[in-house]
Structure formats: structure tokens, C-alpha cells
């Protein structure tokens, strides 16, 4: 195995990632507790914000700083869509505006659909405890 | 029967509640009223493949149970009033398919059971000898239809309500030794603009309070006339709100008022 | 004071009466669970980069693995317990998106695979895709017209 484990577990990177990821989640938690927004609406706000900030190039700074702390939250999904779109527009013009986003997110969307289907084959929902 | 006051109906020959029965799910079976339920279930599926089928089975078995407890034949029953929370009341209508009796489906959400008893009483007073009233609800089917999938990892705020899994049924009869239904006060819809889907208690409390106040005014009674005043499921918040609203209208119900939601779990 | 004097007085009265969620505790749990999930993602990302994958591919692998783990936990009826505890900590990372697709898929199986699972899988997550993709298209068009190259350092 030619993996440099020191790089994988580089504490500085992991710490920044933990911090920013946690901070973004706190913003979400405040929305959950202080507003009457449903989960779906909160996710929409996050993905749209990430997309717009990604389009403006602002989110890139956060990604450079925190890595997955910025890309794993749903804002990162929006950023990924924006990044994909801009690359595709640079390459193919207007068509790229339509193809870029879905192409960039293809892996995630396909995985979610497929695993969702698999889970429905295998599992049953269970009653909630209080 | 005659109308007294604004909304109340007084019965000249009060119908008797001949018998009643209930089946509840495991969560309710662990609550403070456990020993009063006729049957408790081990799990929410009861051997069925879906929540909705389970709910149908619950109301069907409960209806059969109350008929056999009453010691009458189902052919002695003139009419059935039943309802539940689901679209088009499928739990009741599918569940009571085999009962072979004239059927009125009732949709009153949390007020369904009392609404069934009210309508049943009016029928007893006018032409019927025996009327079956039944209601069912199921936490999982209600969550699925009105809120979120069960496995969704969302947080429920402290005010959020919990739908009972269970069914209640009663047989009303023209002749009997009581308990009697002497009056009914159908309530108005009172909407004070509460938009929070997680705070049903606050949404329902104004209507409950308005109905109760109207009942007191129509009958000229005071809260102390009653041994107990019980509401269906206002929850802790709704119950507090109701006490406040009644108080500001000059009625003190704190001493003898309770809410089912406070007692079920 | 009659709380029912008007809709406004009642709503104010209800807001005062309704108990507050324990926001400090919830934020704390959201912080460390969310941070942890992101850190796990970062470790996977680092391993991928070490193995020679480029940034975009590594990112996609992180997404797919986190989605897979999330789906697995949802299938085991465990994710909703995590979600109840962590709130935004499990909702905001991509795990929340995955759970919001897998949970309706499981729930609506009782309505059949085509109309139930297939048709209703996106009841919660649909808006994310609609608004995310639509916004990205707008971003692309704006970028094309205004050539936001100066602001965008991509």
C-alpha cells in the first residue's frame, strides 16, 4: 500500500474540516430550532446558497480552507453543481449551463437513487420511539 | 329532543352507552391507562403488510369485540358511524366491509369519535334502536400521510403531537341503564391562525374552549357540576391554553379537567 | 386578558407558552456530529488522493460512500435515532440528503415498487434537486452573460 497515512490523518486538515463542517451544521440547527422551516426547506436554502456562492467564487475560499468541511454539507453539493456548470459553460457555452450541474452531481444522485431502491427491497420502516 | 341555547341539543329519552371497547398499540399499552384497554398489541403491524391494513384490522376487530361484549347480534344494530384520519376514511370503510350494516363515514379528525356518538345519539332519539360508533388512528399511517416518513432523521420539537395507535368503539342503545348521553353541543370551527404544523394543541384549543364555554352558557351549568371534563388530545400545551382561555371567560376548570394526551402516554 | 381577543394576541400568547427546544444542547450535538461526518469524509478524500485520484473523482467517491453509509443506517432503522439526537448534524451533510431519499423509498414500498418506491422516493429530497439544478442553470447563464470570471476564481 503506497498510502502516506501521515497525510491522510493530517491533524491540521482534519481539524479545520471538523470546525467548518460543524459550524455549517450549527447554522442549520438554529434554523431548525428558531424557525418553523421544515427539513426540505432548510435543505433547499442550503443547496441554493452553496450554488450561488459557488457561482460567485466565494465558496471556493471555504473549500480551499476546510476541504470536506465545506464540500460534505449540502452547501457543498450546491457548490459542486455551480462548479460543474461553470466548467461546462467554459467548454460548451450555453449547453454547458444545462449539462454541467447534473454531470457534476451525477455520482451522488445516482447513488442516492440506487441505494434508496435497494434499501426499500431489504428493509421495512419501524415505529418511532418517543 | 330539542335545541337549547345556541348550539346544544337536549335529549328527551337519552340514549344509553350500552358497551364500549378499545384496542391499542404497544406504546399506549405502556401508558398510565394500560389496564383499561380491552386489548393491546405487540407491534404496530399486527401481522399485516402495511400500516393502513393494520389500522383496518384494528377497527374491524374492535367493532367485533364491542358487539360481542354487548351480547347482541350485529343484525340488531341499525347503523354504523365510523371514521379515521386517512384519505377517504379507508381504514374504517375497508375495515368494516364485512360488518354488513348501513354505514356513515365520518371525518372529524380528532373529534371523530365524539362526532360519531353525537350523530348516533340523534339517530337513536329519532328512529334507531342500536348504533355502533367507532374510530381508529395509527401513528405510522398518520405520519406517512400527513408528516414525514418514519425513517427520516428529523428532530421533533417539544410541542409536536403523537398520534395514538388504536381504536375505540361504543354501542348506543335506545333502552338501557346508562351511562346516558343527555346533551350534545356540536362545536364551531375556530381558526386563530396557528400555522405551526408541530403545535396542534395550540391550533385546536380555541375551538375546544369555545365549544365548552357555549355548552356551559347553553345549559346554564358550571364546571363544578361535572365530576370530570375531558378533552381528546390537546396535549400539555393545548391543555394549559384551554385552562387560560376558560379562566379569562370566568370558568375555572383546573380542578376537574384533564386531557387524554396527558393520560395516554 | 383574553388570549382569543384577536388572531394576533392569540399567536403572541402561544409563542410565549410554547416550550423552547434546548437550543444550546442541540447546537452542540449538531456541531460535533456534523463535524465528525465531514471529518470522516475528509479521511476518505485523503485516502483517495493518496491513491492517485484527482480532486473531482475523490469528491464524488466521498459523496457516494457517505450516501451508501447513510442508506445502510437508514435501512437498519438507526439513522432516525441519530437524526433525533444530532438534528442538523446529520441533516445538513450529504447524509441528510441520502436519508431523505431512502426513508420515503422504504415507507412507500407498501404502495408498490413502481408507484410507491419509484414515484414517491423524492417527496422530501425533490425540492433539493429542483432548486439546486435550476439555480445552477441560472448561475451558468449569468456566468455566460456577465463572464463573472473576475469574481469567480474557478
Cell triple for B43: 407491534
Judgement on whether residues C103 and C141 belong to the same structural domain of the protein: no
Residues B105 and B191 in one domain: no
The ipTM assigned to this model is: 0.92
Strand, helix or coil for residue C107 = helix
Residues C142 and C118 in one domain: no
Instruction: Specify if C75 maps to a domain.
Output: yes
What is the mean pLDDT of the segment spanning B33-60? 93
Q: Which chains have 3+ CB pairs within 8 A of C?
A: A, B
Residues C79 and C151 in one domain: no
Asked whether residue B97 falls in the same domain as residue B15, the answer is yes
**Domain that residue A67 falls in:** 5-122
| Domain range enclosing B200 | 187-264
Name the minimum distance, in Å, from the CA of A70 to any CA of chain B: 21
Whether residue C2 is contained in a domain is answered as: no
Q: Is residue C57 part of a domain?
A: yes
Best of B42, B49, B151, B197 to substitute, by most chain A Cβ atoms within 10 angstroms, is: B151
Q: Residues B13, B139: one domain? A: yes
> What is d(CA C18, CA C33) in angstroms, rounded to the nearest whole number?
27
Interface size A-C, in CB pairs within 8 Å, comes to: 319
pLDDT in tens, C100-150: 999 999 999 989 999 999 999 999 999 999 999 999 999 999 998 887 554
3-class DSSP state for residue B190?
A: coil
CA distance C85 to chain A (A): 11
Are residues B154 and B253 both part of a single domain? Answer: no
How is residue B134 written as a grid cell? 367507532
| pLDDT tens string C59-99 | 999 999 999 999 999 999 999 999 999 999 999 999 999 99
How confident is the model at residue B159, as a pLDDT?
78
The answer to whether residue B182 sits within a structural domain is: no
For residue B152, give the CATH number of its domain: 3.40.47.40
Which run of H or E residues covers position B113? helix B112-126
Is C76–A123 a contact, with Cβ atoms under 8 angstroms apart?
Answer: yes
On whether both C53 and C33 belong to a single domain, the answer is: yes
Interface residue B155 vs chain A (CB under 8 A): yes
Interface touch C11/B245, C-beta < 8 Å? no
**pLDDT score for C154:** 46
Q: Estimate to the nearest angstrom the gap between the alpha carbon of C126 and the chain centroid.
A: 12
Residue C116 lies in a domain: yes
Q: Which three cell numbers stand for residue B81?
A: 358511524
User: Looking at the domain assignment, is residue B180 inside a domain?
Assistant: no
Provide, as residue numbers in chain B, all residues whose Cβ is less than 8 Å from the Cβ of A130.
Answer: 27, 162, 265
The DSSP secondary-structure symbol of B74 reads G
Chain B residues with CB under 8 Å of A115 CB are none
* Residue B181 counted as domain residue: no
Q: What is the mean pLDDT of residues B53-80?
A: 95
Q: Tell me, yes or no, whether C114 and C128 share the same domain.
A: no
Last residue of a domain, one of B145, B173, B201: B173
Split at pLDDT 50, 70, 90, the class of B235 is confident
Given a contact cutoff of 8 angstroms between Cβ atoms, the answer to whether B183 and B9 are in contact is yes
Residue A70 falls within a domain, yes or no? Answer: yes
Residue B233 has pLDDT above 80, yes or no: yes
Residues C114, C148, single domain; the answer is no
Domain span at C131: 124-154
Question: Does residue C151 lie in a domain region?
Answer: yes
Least confident of A86-95, A121-130, B236-245, C24-33: A121-130
**C25 and C94 belong to one structural domain:** yes
Distance from the Cα of B138 to chain C's closest Cα (Å) equals: 15
Q: At what angle do helices A58-66 and A39-55 cross, to 10 degrees?
A: 100
* Chain B partners within 8 Å of A38 (Cβ): 197
B132 & B200 share domain: no
The model's confidence at residue B87, banded by pLDDT at 50, 70 and 90, is confident
Nearest Cα residue to A25 out of C128, C39, C93, C80? C93
Confidence of residue B213 (pLDDT cuts 50, 70, 90): very high
Q: Report the candidate in C149, C139, C134, C54 with the shortest Cα–Cα distance to residue A82.
A: C139
Tell me the CA distances in angstroms from B123 to A121, B108, B127, C49, one per residue in order: 49, 18, 6, 77
* Alpha-carbon gap, residue C17 to B236, rounded angstroms: 11
Which chain B residue has the Cα nearest residue A120? B151
Output the pLDDT for position C153: 47
Nearest to A125 among B150, B162, B265 (CB): B150
Domain count, chain A: 1
- Of the candidates A19, A98, A108, the beta carbon closest to that of C63 is on A108
Question: What is the domain count for chain B?
Answer: 2
Residues C56 and C112 in one domain: yes
Amino acid at each position: 500500500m503506497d498510502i502516506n497515512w501521515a497525510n491522510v490523518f493530517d491533524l491540521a486538515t482534519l481539524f479545520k474540516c471538523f470546525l467548518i463542517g460543524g459550524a455549517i451544521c450549527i447554522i442549520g440547527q438554529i434554523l431548525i430550532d428558531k424557525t418553523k422551516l421544515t427539513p426540505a426547506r432548510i435543505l433547499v436554502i442550503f443547496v441554493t446558497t452553496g450554488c450561488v456562492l459557488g457561482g460567485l467564487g466565494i465558496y471556493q475560499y471555504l473549500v480551499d480552507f476546510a476541504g470536506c468541511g465545506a464540500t460534505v454539507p449540502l452547501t457543498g453539493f450546491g457548490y459542486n453543481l455551480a462548479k460543474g456548470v461553470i466548467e461546462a459553460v467554459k467548454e460548451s457555452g450555453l449547453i454547458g449551463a444545462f449539462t454541467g450541474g447534473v454531470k457534476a452531481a451525477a455520482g451522488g444522485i445516482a447513488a442516492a437513487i440506487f441505494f434508496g431502491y435497494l434499501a426499500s427491497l431489504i428493509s421495512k420502516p419501524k415505529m418511532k420511539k418517543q | 329532543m330539542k335545541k337549547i341555547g345556541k348550539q346544544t341539543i337536549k335529549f328527551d329519552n337519552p340514549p344509553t352507552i350500552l358497551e364500549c371497547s378499545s384496542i391499542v398499540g404497544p406504546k399506549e399499552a405502556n401508558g398510565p391507562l394500560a389496564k383499561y384497554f380491552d386489548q393491546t398489541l405487540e407491534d404496530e403491524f399486527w401481522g399485516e403488510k402495511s400500516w393502513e391494513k393494520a389500522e383496518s384490522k384494528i377497527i374491524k376487530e374492535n367493532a367485533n369485540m364491542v358487539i360481542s361484549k354487548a351480547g347482541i347480534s350485529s343484525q340488531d344494530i341499525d347503523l354504523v358511524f365510523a371514521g379515521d384520519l386517512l384519505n377517504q376514511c379507508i381504514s374504517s370503510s375497508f375495515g368494516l366491509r364485512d360488518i354488513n350494516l348501513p354505514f356513515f363515514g365520518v371525518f372529524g379528525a380528532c373529534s371523530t369519535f365524539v362526532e360519531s356518538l353525537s350523530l348516533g345519539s340523534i339517530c337513536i332519539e329519532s328512529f334507531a334502536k342500536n348504533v355502533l360508533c367507532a374510530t381508529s388512528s395509527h401513528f405510522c399511517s398518520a405520519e406517512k400521510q400527513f408528516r414525514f416518513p418514519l425513517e427520516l432523521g428529523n428532530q421533533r420539537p417539544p410541542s409536536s403531537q403523537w398520534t395514538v395507535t388504536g381504536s375505540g368503539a361504543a354501542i348506543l342503545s335506545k333502552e338501557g341503564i346508562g351511562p346516558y348521553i343527555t346533551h350534545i353541543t356540536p362545536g364551531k370551527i375556530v381558526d386563530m391562525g396557528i400555522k405551526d404544523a408541530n403545535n396542534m394543541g395550540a391550533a385546536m384549543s380555541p375551538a375546544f374552549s369555545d365549544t365548552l364555554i357555549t355548552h356551559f352558557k347553553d345549559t346554564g351549568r358550571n364546571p363544578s357540576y361535572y365530576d370530570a371534563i375531558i378533552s381528546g388530545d390537546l396535549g400539555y400545551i393545548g391543555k394549559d391554553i384551554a385552562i387560560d382561555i376558560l379562566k379569562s371567560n370566568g370558568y375555572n376548570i383546573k380542578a376537574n379537567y384533564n386531557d387524554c394526551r396527558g393520560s395516554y402516554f | 386578558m383574553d388570549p382569543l381577543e384577536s388572531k394576533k394576541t392569540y399567536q403572541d400568547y402561544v409563542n410565549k407558552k410554547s416550550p423552547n427546544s434546548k437550543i444550546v444542547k442541540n447546537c452542540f450535538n449538531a456541531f460535533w456530529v456534523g463535524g465528525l461526518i465531514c471529518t470522516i469524509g475528509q479521511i476518505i478524500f485523503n485516502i483517495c488522493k493518496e491513491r492517485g485520484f484527482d480532486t473531482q473523482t475523490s469528491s464524488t467517491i466521498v459523496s457516494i460512500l457517505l450516501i451508501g453509509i447513510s442508506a445502510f443506517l437508514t435501512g437498519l432503522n438507526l439513522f432516525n435515532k441519530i437524526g433525533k439526537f444530532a438534528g442538523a448534524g446529520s441533516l445538513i451533510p450529504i447524509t441528510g440528503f441520502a436519508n431523505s431519499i431512502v426513508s420515503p423509498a422504504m415507507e412507500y414500498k407498501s404502495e408498490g415498487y413502481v408507484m410507491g418506491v419509484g414515484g414517491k422516493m423524492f417527496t422530501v429530497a425533490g425540492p433539493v434537486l429542483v432548486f439546486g439544478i435550476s439555480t445552477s442553470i441560472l448561475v451558468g447563464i449569468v456566468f455566460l452573460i456577465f463572464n463573472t470570471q473576475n469574481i469567480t476564481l474557478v
